[in-house]
Structure 1
Amino acid sequence: MCRTTLLACLAGLAVLALPSTRAHARDDDYAAMLGYLTSSHLDGHVLQGAEGSITVNLAAGDLNSQANLRAFATGPDAQAWIDARQRTAGNQANAPLDAQATIAGQVLAGAHGLVSINQVSGSANTQLNAVAAALASQGIRETTDGSLSAAVSASAEMQPGTEPDAPGEGTRSVSVAAGAMQGFRGVLQLNQTAGSGNATGNILSLSVSDLPR
């Protein structure tokens, strides 16, 4: 073999090796595409500068239960309460290999008001945001732990039958980007979940007096 052709032969071997490596990468990408993946995103300028009462339920996956509940009352003896119960049975689903829940961009930047968000990626999760507020003329009343739980109560049963496609593998991630919610003023409730079989809740109970006349 001529020495001048050695580099050409080596180059030829390198070229022959590249398709094999790329084919392997493509096989891995294809296998990942066939996996059960869930992803929920709030991005861009969604709700930027919004005002007032805002509720969002965003879910990717199976068998997820979400609720945003509000109760308001006014009067001499005003009382407000919420009782939420979520239950399912006999359902079957696989847990996703990869689950992501993300809030990015300028979501809710400069907004103000009462905002309740449930965001989930996965299977068999339960999320609840509840607000109970009473404007009573008898003045501010002390709220004990017992009366607080009575004013807003919630229960959720874990839903059986969720198994991951590949136990011990995959990723679960939640995130809120730095630019999101900048300058927000008011009350913000956020349940953000990635995974399976989780139960989360935000509960707010208020009792205040009438404003002076």
Structure 2
Amino acid sequence: MSARVGLIGLLVGLCAAPALADDYGAMLGYLTQSRVDGSAFSGASGALALNVAAGDLNQQTNLRAIAVGTRALASADVRQARRGDRATAPDAASAVITGRAFAGASGLAGINQASGSGNSAFNAVALALAQQGIRETDDDAALSAAFASAGQQHGFERGGATAGRRVASVESTALQGFEGVLQLNQVAGSGNDTGNVLSMSVQTGP
């Protein structure tokens, strides 16, 4: 009887071995996770900028240019470029904003969030404001411009997995009640180029 039970136990162990091997292989995989949660930036106000990335060779920037005066001129210019980069694409990548992150915040917010390899992201704002009570100026006197280009990573090469689990999400509890200008770039993957540009000129008479 004991020999029979021992044989059955051995067979069960052999059947379970492949499943354990699969789980072990998953644990050894290349995983990237970018997460903003809790009460991060909750209730904050003003000029808010967040760059967060998990992985390799990611580029991120937030630019703000604001000018106030008789002849106001504001400009923002960003160029992001890489050439010939090599990196391993993750087997699983996730970029998540959850909790009460940025809930009830206000102002000018720029968020760049990436999980993966070789991603480029930018937020650019240029604002020119002619003060009240000053002499009116022509269209060329109060100008704003934001020029930007993300990525240009045409030489980027991925080694490793070309497909896998990718998650980019903003949960319903995050960003609730935000007031103002919100720029958000969120990427899970490799070799993505994303950007937001806001350019505004405001003129008032006496």
Give the TM-score category using the shorter length. Answer: 0.7 to 0.9
- Asked if structure 1 preserves the Cα contact closer than 8 Å seen for 2:128 and 2:201, the reply is yes
Measure how far apart 1:165 and its partner are.
1.7
Tell me if the contact between 2:156 and 2:191 (Cα under 8 Å) persists in the aligned partners: no
Q: Following TM superposition, by how much is the alpha carbon of 1:77 offset from its aligned partner in structure 2, in angstroms?
A: 1.5
Q: Deviations over 1:125-152 (max 9, x none)?
A: 110000100002437969xxxx87xx11
- From 58, 64, 84, the counterpart of 1:64: 58
8 A contact 2:83–2:156 mirrored in 1: no
2:121 match: 127
The answer to whether 1:117 aligns with 2:111 is yes
Q: Which runs of 5+ in 1 are unaligned?
A: none
Query: Structure 1 CA distance, aligned partners of 2:72 and 2:27?
Result: 55
Partner of 1:206: 200
| Residues 142-191 of structure 1: CA deviation (Å, up to 9, x unaligned) | 9xxxx87xx11112311524325223x31111000010011111111000
Deviations 1:16-39 (CA, angstroms, capped at 9, x unpaired) = 454345433321122112221111
**CA 52–91 in structure 1, closer or farther in 2 if over 3 Å, else same:** same
SS at match of 1:80: strand
Describe the shift of the 1:21–1:73 C-alpha distance in structure 2 as closer, same or farther (beyond 3 A): farther
> Pairwise CA RMSD of aligned residues?
2.7
Q: Which residue is 1:51 aligned to?
A: 45
1 or 2, which has the higher helix percentage? 1
Letter in 2 for 1:66: Q
Among residues 126, 147, 152, which one is paired with 1:157 in the alignment? 152
Cα 1:18–1:204 change in 2 (3 A) is farther
Letter in 1 for 2:160: D
Q: Distance in 1 between matches of 2:170 and 2:176?
A: 11
Closer, same or farther: CA 109–27 of 1 in aligned 2, 3 Å: same
Structure-2 separation of matches of 1:207 and 1:17: 76
Q: Residue 136 in 1 paired to residue 136 in 2?
A: no
TM-score, normalised to structure 1's length? 0.82
Question: What is the identity, as a one-letter code, of the residue corresponding to 1:127?
Answer: A
TM-score by length of 2: 0.85
Structure-2 change in CA distance of 1:77 and 1:36 (3 Å): same
Question: How many residues are matched?
Answer: 198
Q: Identify if the C-alpha distance between structure 1 residues 206 and 23 changes in structure 2 by more than 3 Å, giving closer, same or farther.
A: same
